[in-house]
């Protein structure tokens, strides 16, 4: 059950799980109330907080520490591009792992009286009608001064993809902020330098703390970013424990996303702005409980069951807990839950076959990281071209996305019956940036059944999400939706299946031997359990290898 409490200041309820013996839950409730009262007292009294600012000597990289006292009501916290998707699947998951700790920090910032600004940049106007966005347009306008000429050497940029050999293809699939990021009632959603400056003038803000992604690109260069606001005269600080660089990954030279982020943070400290550890600052105020477990183990490359990492040759997978130094990382590769007794991670893993990785981290037998999972699928050899193409055959059953009445399908939306040698919407067949001349374009869910003739020896195909969607504004707001599972059934029994196939990932390779006496084969494209929006799918170079008699 849950125990709910409401404090006198009207703060939202806080629920704590209870297993029937509530001592542990009560202790946490008391601790939470006390810390909230401390923060409420600080905010109400206008007492200053003291930040420990870290910079580095540009020549020697030696750390320099300084302290600054500031009224928290003069501080704004800007969360940049906490998106729900990224064209790099590893980058997407690295946002996912930081959001829990970011929520803790923003909750404390609000209680301290800081102004929280959520800035998803190019998708901010998907929040029209939200009071946090609409309030921006009632602000008085102020000319933005140019106070500081902000210059620095080029920032390290590793290319933006942390998936190693299987590099993701760029698209603008995100359509909002991460669904777990909590939006406060008094938060604001500015987008431009002028909008942030207007907020600073109205609320008397002199300092801005930056959290979010991707440090050397978005936090630095966006209109509401650190460079723009520093040039306008604001004191800008980077929270080094709540940011992540536009990542890269090259295990051959031990270059990991966390190393990349560390390099970028160090560059900021040398040339651009001081940094803080937001966790350490909140701990000093009694707001951060060191017993909280908020950070998952980080994986690179990071495939998931809904967005698996496909590979041909063995891959090197790195696990990391950069914010829990000294933690023991334990893992399994068979999908079982990791424990303190699971295999100890001592060096990067070389994964040679399809694997379901689960990992957690412990210290003194206690979990200090949330569990993470990774999904890795090894592809078979490239199949030969078929002797008989499936598009030249007439199916004995053909059903698709829509409503079926007495065997006739009324296709829904902008979908059509399977299209021969073109996508379902009449364009070229395209998977993983490659165009195919032969095949079928369908929309999941779809099933095509064919009669198997005695001379059919093997069924071969390349199957994947159709990429024509990326031609529309580079996939803006849509590219995150296609997710398809391809299956082949022979005489009603599953003969082979793909993992979840996503936009701009490698085509799955089917090469299936047909048993003697088999009568029918069905080619099925299914949605992956998250709905069928934009699930346009291609069976490319699909057909049969014929026996030689």
Same structural domain, 119 and 213? yes
pLDDT confidence of 21, banded at 50, 70, 90? very low
Same structural domain, 327 and 242? no
Same structural domain, 135 and 221? yes
Same structural domain, 454 and 495? yes
Same structural domain, 512 and 534? yes
- The pLDDT tens digits for 359-384 are 999 999 999 999 999 999 999 999 99
**DSSP code of 147?**
-
- The pLDDT tens digits for 154-198 are 887 888 899 987 788 889 999 999 999 999 999 999 999 999 999
In this predicted model, which residue has the larger pLDDT, 406 or 262? 262
User: Which helix (H) or strand (E) is 417 found in, with range?
Assistant: none
For residue 74, what are the CA distances in angstroms to 43, 147, 545? Answer: 11, 19, 72
Same structural domain, 256 and 306? no
* % the chain with pLDDT above 90: 86
- Kindly state whether residue 195 falls inside one of the protein's structural domains: yes
Same structural domain, 220 and 366? no
Give the domain-ending residue among 249, 268, 290.
290
User: Which helix (H) or strand (E) is 91 found in, with range?
Assistant: helix 89-112
Same structural domain, 481 and 511? yes
Check: CB of residue 162 under 8 Å from CB of residue 88.
yes
Which domain CATH number covers 434? 2.60.120.1060
Give the domain-ending residue among 263, 290, 317.
290
| Residue of 318, 345, 193 lying closest to 257 (CA atoms) | 318
Check: CB of residue 387 under 8 Å from CB of residue 408.
no
Domain residue limits at 509: 388-546
Same structural domain, 539 and 398? yes
Check: CB of residue 526 under 8 Å from CB of residue 515.
no
Q: How many domains does the chain have?
A: 4
- Kindly state whether residue 134 falls inside one of the protein's structural domains: yes
Q: Determine phi and psi for 304, rounding to 5 degrees.
A: -130, 165
Please tell me the pTM assigned to this model: 0.89
**DSSP code of 548?**
P
pLDDT confidence of 549, banded at 50, 70, 90? low
Same structural domain, 78 and 218? yes
Q: Please tell me the distance from the alpha carbon of residue 486 to that of residue 497, in angstroms, as a whole number.
A: 6
Same structural domain, 219 and 98? yes
- Kindly state whether residue 383 falls inside one of the protein's structural domains: no
| Antiparallel, parallel or unpaired: β 456-465 and 508-513 | antiparallel
For residue 390, what are the CA distances in angstroms to 3, 58, 393, 450, 464? Answer: 60, 64, 5, 9, 16
Which domain CATH number covers 184? 3.40.50.850
Same structural domain, 155 and 254? yes
Cα 461 to chain centroid distance, Å, stands at 30
Q: Determine phi and psi for 428, rounding to 5 degrees.
A: -70, 150
Give the domain-ending residue among 378, 409, 437.
378
């Amino acid at each position: 059950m849950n125990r709910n409490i409401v404090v006198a200041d009207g703060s939202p309820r806080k629920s704590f799980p209870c297993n029937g013996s509530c001592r542990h839950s009560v202790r946490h409730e008391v601790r939470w109330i006390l810390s909230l009262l401390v923060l409420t007292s600080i905010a109400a009294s206008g007492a200053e907080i003291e930040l420990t600012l870290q910079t580095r000597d540009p020549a020697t990289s030696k750390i320099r520490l300084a302290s600054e006292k500031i009224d928290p009501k003069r501080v704004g916290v800007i969360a940049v591009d906490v998106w729900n998707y990224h064209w790099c699947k590893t980058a997407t998951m690295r946002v996912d792992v930081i959001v829990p700790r970011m929520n803790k920090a923003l909750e404390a910032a609000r209680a301290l009286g800081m102004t929280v600004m959520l800035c998803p940049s190019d998708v901010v106007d998907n929040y029209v009608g939200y009071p946090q966005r609409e309030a921006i347009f009632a602000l008085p306008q102020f000319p933005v001064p140019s106070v500081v000429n902000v210059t620095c050497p080029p920032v390290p940029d590793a290319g933006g993809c942390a998936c190693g050999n299987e590099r993701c293809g760029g698209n603008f699939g995100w359509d909002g902020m991460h669904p777990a990021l909590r939006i406060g009632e008094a938060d604001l959603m500015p987008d431009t330098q002028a909008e942030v400056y207007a907020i600073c003038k109205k609320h008397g803000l002199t300092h801005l703390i930056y959290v979010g992604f991707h440090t050397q690109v978005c936090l630095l260069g966006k209109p509401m970013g650190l460079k723009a606001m520093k040039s306008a005269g604001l004191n800008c600080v980077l929270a080094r424990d709540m940011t992540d660089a536009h990542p890269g990954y090259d295990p051959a030279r031990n270059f990991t996303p966390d190393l990349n982020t560390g390099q970028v943070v160090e560059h900021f400290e040398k040339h651009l702005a001081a940094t803080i550890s937001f966790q350490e600052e909140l701990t000093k105020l009694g707001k951060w409980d060191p017993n909280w477990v908020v950070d998952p183990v980080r994986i690179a490359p990071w495939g998931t069951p809904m967005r698996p990492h496909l590979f041909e040759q063995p891959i090197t997978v790195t696990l990391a807990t950069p914010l829990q130094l000294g933690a023991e990382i334990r893992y399994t590769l068979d999908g079982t839950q990791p424990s303190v007794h699971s295999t100890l991670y001592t060096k990067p893993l070389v994964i040679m076959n399809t694997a379901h990785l689960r990992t957690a981290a412990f210290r003194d037998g206690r979990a200090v990281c949330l569990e993470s999972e990774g999904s890795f699928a090894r592809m078979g050899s490239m199949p030969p071209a078929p002797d008989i193409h499936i598009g030249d055959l007439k199916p004995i059953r053909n059903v698709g996305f829509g409503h079926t009445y007495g065997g006739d399908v009324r296709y829904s939306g902008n979908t059509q019956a399977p299209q021969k040698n073109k996508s379902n919407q009449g364009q070229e067949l395209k998977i993983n940036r490659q165009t195919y001349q032969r095949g079928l374009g369908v929309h999941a869910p779809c099933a095509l059944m064919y009669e198997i003739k005695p001379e059919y020896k093997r069924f071969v195909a390349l199957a994947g999400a159709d990429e024509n969607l990326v031609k529309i504004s580079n996939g803006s707001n849509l590219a995150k939706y296609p997710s398809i599972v391809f299956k082949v059934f022979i005489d009603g029994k599953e003969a082979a299946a793909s993992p979840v196939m996503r936009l701009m990932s490698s085509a799955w390779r089917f090469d299936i031997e047909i048993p003697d006496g088999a009568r029918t084969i069905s080619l099925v494209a299914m949605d992956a359990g998250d709905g069928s929006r934009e699930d346009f799918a291609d069976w490319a170079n699909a057909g049969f290898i014929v026996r030689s008699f």
